[in-house]
Amino acid sequence: MTAVKSKNTTAEMCVRKLLHSSGFRYRLHDKNLPGSPDIVFSSRQKVIFVNGCFWHGHDCKRGARMPKANAEYWAGKIERNRKRDIQNMNKLVEAGWGVLIVWECEIKSLDIAKLRAFLD
């Protein structure tokens, strides 16, 4: 699992490129915020998480697929990831931050209008 990237993934880079080309400026992976959000807009108090469907247990085709080998381990790991994500999101909302989750499966159909609506 050390080969699995947690930063600068292809999905994250697509979202960052879309935001940057639309004139938005941001910070990356702020360790001072719960969950180290992928994209941080400090002045707007907004954060974006770009989540992989498998790793974060999304309810799409890719996220619902479970490995056959060591299935019990993976089910537990993904459930812990989901609980941690919810806790981090709740901490951010309680602190006054707006949170948007962009799923890996949404990247191809993602348009700037959704991101702009969240940021404005």
5 within some domain: no
Within a domain: residue 3?
no
Query: How many structural domains comprise the chain?
Result: 1
User: What's the Cα-to-Cα distance from 46 to each of 75, 76, 114, rounded to whole Å?
Assistant: 31, 30, 14
Range of the domain at 25: 10-119
Provide the CATH number for the domain around residue 21: 3.40.960.10
Residue 18 maps to a domain: yes
The pLDDT assigned to 7 comes to 80
Nearest to 102 by CA among 114, 93, 91, 94: 114
User: 105 in a domain, yes or no?
Assistant: yes
Report the distance separating Cα 37 and Cα 63, nearest Å. Answer: 20
- The model carries a pTM of 0.89
Question: What pLDDT, on the 0 to 100 scale, is given for residue 38?
Answer: 92
**Interval 71-111: pLDDT, tens:** 899 999 999 999 999 999 999 999 999 999 999 999 988 88
Q: Is residue 1 part of a domain?
A: no
Residue 1 has pLDDT above 60, yes or no: no
Determine contact, residues 33/47, Cβ cutoff 8 Å. Answer: yes
pLDDT digits (tens, 9 = 90+) for 34-73: 999 999 999 999 999 999 888 888 888 877 788 889 889 9
